[in-house]
Amino acid sequence: MSRFFKGSDSESESSSTDEEINIPQKPAVTAKAFQFSDDEEETRRVVRSAKDKRFEELRTIIKQLRNKKNIKDMCAILSDFENLGKAFEKAKKVVDKEGVPRFYVKILVELDDFINECWEDRDGRKQMSKNNAKGLTTLRQKLKKYNRDFEQDIILYREDPDVGDEDEGDEDGEDEASEEEGEEEVSVPTFKKAEPKPQTLDDGEDSDEYWNMSSGEESSSSEEEGPAEFTAAYFLKKESDKKEVKKKPKKEKEKRSIKKDENEENDEGGEWEEVTKGMPAPIVEKPKMFAKDTEVNHEAVCKKLVEIVSARGKKATDRNEQIELLKELLTIAETNNLGAGIAIKVRFNIVAAIFDYNSNIATCMRPEMWEMCLSYVTALLDLLTSNPDIIASEHVHDESENLQTTPYRIRGCVLTVVERMDEEFIKMLQACDAHSTEYVERLKDEKTIYEIIKRLQEYLEDRATTEEICRIYLHRIEHTYYKCDFSLAKENVEEDSEKLMDRLCKYIYAKDVTDRLRTRAILCHIYHHALHDRWFQARDLMLMSHLQDTIHHSDVPTQLLYNRTMVQLGLCSFRCGFTKDAHNALVDIQSGGRAKELLAQGLLLQRQHERTPEQEKIEKRRLLPYHMHINLELLECVYLVSAMLMEIPYMAAHEMDARRRMISKNFHHVLRMAERQTLTGPPESMREHVVAASRAMKTGDWKACKNFVINEKMNTKVWNLFPHPDRVRDMITSKIQEESLRTYLFTYSSVYDSLSLHTLAEMFELEKQVVHSTISKMIINEELMASLDEPTQCVIMHRTEPTRLQSLALQLSEKVGNLVENNERITEIKQGNLFYQKGNRDRDQMYQQNQQNWNRRQNRQQQRAY
């Protein structure tokens, strides 16, 4: 027996055996390693005394209480607590004699903490069932009241909580010493249940070992003191760590038994020796995996791995610790040259553990974690590519895994890992402020990710199923499509991204079976075409895919992508000079004033209906990272300018029209808003510029119009955002000239008898050809009542503009025509024979009523006449 134990024994003997008295004497000596507070063991000591009996009773209840606490069953805790109170009353006598037992105070403190914690956690409280919530409230009140009686003790305890632990440990140690070896196995599981102190995995390992050691001690009784002291010191050092880490779950105990089996497999002597040898170097920072002498082979590592991993996903598992453990295992495996199979397997698990680190899907990884993750994924890929004989796939079953010999078979899908990594990346970008350096730092990783995806694609191309290839292709596409390929601008470089997109997308079109991937690939393809001004290809692809009809049935992210694509298509057609198409493509996005939301570039404040927090969370998760955004001001400006180019001539042409329809509601809205202003200063914002330009165009003043649309301010705000701003500006200028000419002709044609083509060409600084063709088009479309006089190069107005009387006559004739038409329609509807038979009687009644009314009215008129 160790001296320490002996001492405690003697102590207890002298003071009628109790632990409390031990505490002050030898607090530091007690080993946490022995902290198996064991109730079962106590049952064996029933014989001792009345005090023990009572205390034991208390302990049993406490044990139950802790179990319930673990599962947060408030009602059960409440009833247990009441029982505890009663039991304590029973033990009153003993307590009076001995003082309040520490473990009792301890459970009170724990319970108090626990209740407070639960109380604080509002979300958790909300999720509780009604019963539980009620239980919690009652418990809280009762406990408060109850604890008042023990205030002193609690304060004392709080000041020095560890003592209590050691006390228990001490006691356990005592038990340990007195128990037989055979009992160990029983004690291990129970230890778990009762263990209230936070305990880490490695902690467990170590204590395990120590525990084994202590069992060994029984056989050899010479130098026991050394180890005991060491263990205590060792654990004290780790104390602070332990407080941080969370509690281990119950499941741990299974693992421990596994571990124990393993240890038992190894010869006892080795085990025992390991510990004693380890003694001279007391500070061991890294968690120990294996006994020193154990042969580290595949089997052992695998076992260890399974052991570590099985804790995954448990509530109380310390994730950080788990990662560290896995890393350690990896180094062990590598130093022992266990081959690539094991290395890959462990890496898979490390990456998975890193991904597990955050339990909340809304939050993102810490940057250190992320970097670690990147490096591990890269390493994993390195290994996989350098060992082509490894089959790593999710289709490999656990049983058929082969980690030892060369045709390795490993369960694990690197594609899924990379997909997950990609997701995390987006999350990280979403979490940082788009204008901070942090964002830029993160964005630098995009390159790495792209490289990883590229390499993975190369790796998968010759071994994966088409489905998987489609998936990785789509990932590559999604990392490519929104990037403007600047090699194109240099012109001498072969345009890579276009061909790349073409190849990848076509593969997906042909091979994909899920339809979702295909849709996304098509949209990305169109987007990429549009981004590089390949308007016709983009348009044809959009029309051929018939996506407009079906997009409403797809999932939200795909719809967002569709919106983005349409916007890009609109911008592209604008750059290429098809303003009408640009307007049509953008009108849906722009009309609601919700472009920001539709493009997932930010949340709008909604006045009418508040979002629920969950909805907001979901929407936030959908937001695109900043570097993929489309400039909203550019979008609006393009839309307004193309609307202006269509709407102003149209308005001029249909000024007299009674029933004029609007081409663009949004544009009209902007105009109206501007008109409402009492004072209009020089334009400042983009919108004001466009409005001013529209006003100028209305009078046919193309130069003013141009100057409002294209100037320094607008250049920096909008036009310079295009890849070839000069081309766009030229295009806009010529469009403005043409449309101003049209507007001018519509507005002032009634004033002229004839107009010279030359003058017009000069006025609008257009070529005569263009003027001629523009006017011809108007004549052919019967927009302009005129004809050309070829020999003199003049436009001759036909003076068909009707006078006021004439136009009224025309309107009247039109209305009369409508009247007749309406009558015809009505008779047509009522002609059905069915109607006659059914509605006859009703109608007759109505008829009679009408007649009566009629008579009455007539009477009245007669009266009035009199």
Partner 1 sequence: MAEFDLTTRMGQYLDRHLVFPLLEFLSVKELYDEKEMLKGKLELLSNTNMVDFAMDVHKNLYPDQDVPNSLKEKRGHVVMELKQLQMETDLITKIFEDPEVIRQMQSSRDGRQLSDFLYKEHGFKAEMVETLYNYAKFQYECGNYSGAAEYLYFVRILLPPNDRSYLDTLWGKLASEILMQNWETALEDLNRLKEVIDANTFSSALLSLQQRTWLVHWSLFVFFNHPKGRDLIIDMFLYQQLYLNAIQTVCPHILRYLTTAVITNKARRRTVLKDLVKVIQQESYTYKDPITEFVECLYVHFDFDGAQQKLRECESVLINDFFLVACLEDFIENARLLIFETFCRIHECISINMLAQKLNMTPDDAERWIVNLIRNARLDAKIDSKLGHVVMGALAMSPYQQVIEKTKNLAFRSQVLAMTLEKKMNMKDKEAVGWGGHE
Question: Using CB under 8 A, which of the segments 45-53, 65-73, 548-556, 768-776 binds partner 1?
Answer: 768-776
Closer by beta carbon to partner 1, 721 or else 779: 779
Residue whose CB is less far from partner 1, 486 or 836 = 836
CB contact at 8 A, 719 and 725: yes
Which of helix, strand or coil describes residue 254? helix
Beta pairing partners, 68: none
Phi-psi region of 661 (alpha: psi -120 to 50; beta: other; left: phi over 0): beta
Position 800 contacts partner 1 (CB under 8 A): yes
The answer to whether 549 contacts partner 1 (rule: CB under 8 A) is no
Please say which residue, 243 or 506, places its beta carbon nearer to partner 1.
506
Among the listed ranges 206-214, 461-469, 607-615, 802-810, the one in contact with partner 1 (CB under 8 A) is 802-810
Least separation, in Å, of the C-beta of 841 and partner 1?
9
Q: Of 284, 306, 809, 846, which lies in the binding site for partner 1, with binding defined by CB under 8 A?
A: 809
- Asked if 14 interacts with partner 1 (CB under 8 A), we say no
Q: Min. distance of Cβ 847 from partner 1 in angstroms?
A: 11
Q: Is 824 in the site for partner 1 (CB under 8 A)?
A: yes
CB of 660 to partner 1, least distance (A): 20
Residue 772: how many CA atoms within 13 Å on its side-chain side? 9
- Rounded CA separation 321/327 (Å): 10
Q: If residue 754 lies in a helix (H) or strand (E), which one and from where to where? A: strand 754-756
Q: Which is nearer to partner 1, 116 or 769 (CB)?
A: 769
Contact predicate 261/330, CB 8 Å: no
810 lies in the site for partner 1, by CB under 8 A = yes
Q: Is 814 in the site for partner 1 (CB under 8 A)?
A: yes
Return d(Cα 568, Cα 572) in angstroms, integer.
6
Nearer to partner 1, 805 or 865 (CB): 805
Region binding partner 1 by CB under 8 A among candidate stretches 524-532, 666-674, 742-750, 782-790: 782-790
Query: Residue 794: helix, strand or coil by DSSP?
Result: strand
Q: Tell me the per-residue interface mask from 518 to 537 with partner 1, x by CB under 8 A, - otherwise.
A: ------------------x-
DSSP secondary structure letters along 493-516: S--HHHHHHHHHHHHHHHH--SSH
Q: Under the criterion CB under 8 A, does residue 827 sit at the interface with partner 1?
A: yes
Q: Is the separation of the CB atoms in 702 and 740 below 8 Å?
A: yes
625 three-state secondary structure: coil
658 binds partner 1 (CB under 8 A): no
Extract the tokens encoding 30: 């007690």
Exposed/middle/buried for residue 645 (C-beta within 10 Å: 0-12, 13-18, 19+): buried
Please name the residues in contact with 589: beta carbons below 8 A apart, sequence gap of 6 or more: 563, 566, 567, 570, 595, 598, 599, 635
Instruction: Name the pairing type of β-strands 409-411 and 786-789.
Output: unpaired
Cβ 497 to partner 1 shortest distance, Å: 21
Q: Is 731 in the site for partner 1 (CB under 8 A)?
A: no
Q: Which is nearer to partner 1, 437 or 827 (CB)?
A: 827
CB 91 within 8 A of CB 55: yes
* Min dist. Cβ of residue 524 to partner 1 (A): 21
Query: Binder to partner 1 among 777, 838, 856, 860 (CB under 8 A)?
Result: 777
Q: Considering only 251-259, 326-334, 740-748, 801-809, which stretch makes contact with partner 1 by CB under 8 A?
A: 801-809
Q: Find where tokens 């806009």 sit.
A: 732
Question: At its nearest, how many Å lie between partner 1 and the CB of residue 837?
Answer: 9
Q: 391-393 and 409-411 as β-strands: parallel, antiparallel, unpaired?
A: parallel
Nearer to partner 1, 555 or 844 (CB): 844
Query: Closest CB to partner 1 among 552 and 841?
Result: 841
| Residue choice 99, 802, 832, 839 for contact with partner 1 (CB under 8 A) | 802
If we measure between CA atoms, which residue out of 169, 284, 289 comes closest to residue 237? Answer: 284
Residue with tokens 């198996």: 36
Nearer to partner 1, 500 or 779 (CB): 779
835 forms part of the interface with partner 1 (CB under 8 A) = no
Measure CA 546 to chain center. 30
* Closest to partner 1 by CB, 672 or 798: 798
The burial of 606, by beta-carbon neighbours within 10 Å (0-12 exposed, 13-18 middle, 19 or more buried), is given as exposed
Report if residue 251 touches partner 1, rule: CB under 8 A: no
**Whole-angstrom distance, CA of residue 40 vs CA of residue 164:** 19
Closest to 5 (Cα-Cα) out of 281, 275, 227 = 227
Q: What 3-state class would DSSP assign to 627?
A: helix
CB of 307 to partner 1, least distance (A): 53
**From 61-69, 361-369, 603-611, 816-824, span contacting partner 1 (CB under 8 A):** 816-824
Residue type, 360: N
Q: Is 825 in the site for partner 1 (CB under 8 A)?
A: no
Residue 16 in contact with partner 1, rule: CB under 8 A: no
Whose CA is closest to 145, among 117, 112, 118? Answer: 112
Question: 750, 823, 851, 861: which one contacts partner 1 (CB under 8 A)?
Answer: 823
Q: Does 817 bind partner 1 (CB under 8 A)?
A: yes
Greatest alpha-carbon span in the chain: 141
Distance, in Å, from the CA atom of 76 to the CA atom of 751, rounded to the nearest integer, reads 95
Q: Which is nearer to partner 1, 519 or 563 (CB)?
A: 519
Of 569-598, which residues contact partner 1 (CB under 8 A)? none
Least separation in angstroms between residue 587's CB and partner 1 is 21
Half-sphere exposure of 530 (CA within 13 A, CB side): 29
Number of residues that bind partner 1 (CB under 8 A): 36
Pick from 270, 789, 859, 861 the residue near partner 1 by CB under 8 A.
Answer: 789
Scored b (16 or more CB within 10 A) or e, 803-812 reads eeeeeeeeee
Q: Which of 280, 790, 863, 865 binds partner 1 (CB under 8 A)?
A: 790
Q: Could you tell me which stretch among 47-55, 175-183, 591-599, 812-820 binds partner 1 (CB under 8 A)?
A: 812-820
Among 25, 127, 465, 813, binds partner 1 (CB under 8 A): 813
Which region among 262-270, 396-404, 591-599, 774-782 touches partner 1 (by CB under 8 A)?
A: 774-782
788 makes contact with partner 1 (CB under 8 A):
yes
Q: Minimum distance between the CB of residue 810 and partner 1, rounded to whole angstroms?
A: 6
Residue 791 is a binding residue for partner 1 (CB under 8 A): yes
How many other C-beta atoms are found inside a 10 Å radius of the C-beta of residue 43?
11
Q: Work out whether 769 is an interface residue with partner 1 (CB under 8 A).
A: yes
C-alpha pair distances (Å), 809 with each of 44, 656, 806, 812? 117, 14, 5, 5
Please, are residues 401 and 337 in contact by the beta-carbon 8 Å criterion?
no
Stretch that binds partner 1, among 22-30, 366-374, 780-788, 850-858 (CB under 8 A): 780-788
Residue 798 makes contact with partner 1 by CB under 8 A: yes
In angstroms, the CA 668 to CA 795 distance is 32
Residues making contact with partner 1 (CB under 8 A): 536, 544, 769, 772-773, 776-777, 779-780, 785, 787-792, 796, 798, 800, 802-803, 806-807, 809-810, 813-814, 816-817, 820, 823-824, 827, 831, 836, 840
